[in-house]
Amino acid sequence: MARRGSFEVTLEGRGAVTLREVDYVASGGEGAIYRTGQTGVKIYTDTAKMARDGIAEKIQLLAGLKHSGIVAPQGLVLDAGKKPIGF
């Protein structure tokens, strides 16, 4: 489910961005998807899952993939405390 109101996150390598309710696309079992411009952002519902499952390290490895036939994460999404909360 979309968060109520607006909230600011930091996109690794791009800087701060404000996600708004209007940017909300969909939710699933692990989190919610937002769209800001041409960028899709996944915010985990259980942000502790990122630490527990080593997601931040996996995202950083996948961000290095560069191929026209592969869609890969571009980096982490950080909260105001610089804690990874998505990608």
For residue 51, what are the domain limits? 7-77
Total domains, the chain: 1
Closest CA to 82 of 23, 4, 32, 16: 16
pLDDT grade for 1, boundaries at 50, 70 and 90: low
- pLDDT for the residue numbered 24: 96
Residues forming a β-bridge with 84: 78
Domain-located, residue 47: yes
Q: Helix or strand or coil: residue 14? A: coil
Domain-located, residue 87: no
Query: To which H or E segment does residue 7 belong?
Result: strand 7-11
Please return the burial class of 29, using the count of CB atoms within 10 Å of its CB with bins 0-12, 13-18 and 19+. Answer: exposed
- pLDDT for the residue numbered 19: 96
pLDDT, tens digit (0-9, with 9 covering 90-100), for 27-67: 998 999 999 999 999 999 998 888 899 999 999 999 999 99
- pLDDT for the residue numbered 4: 78
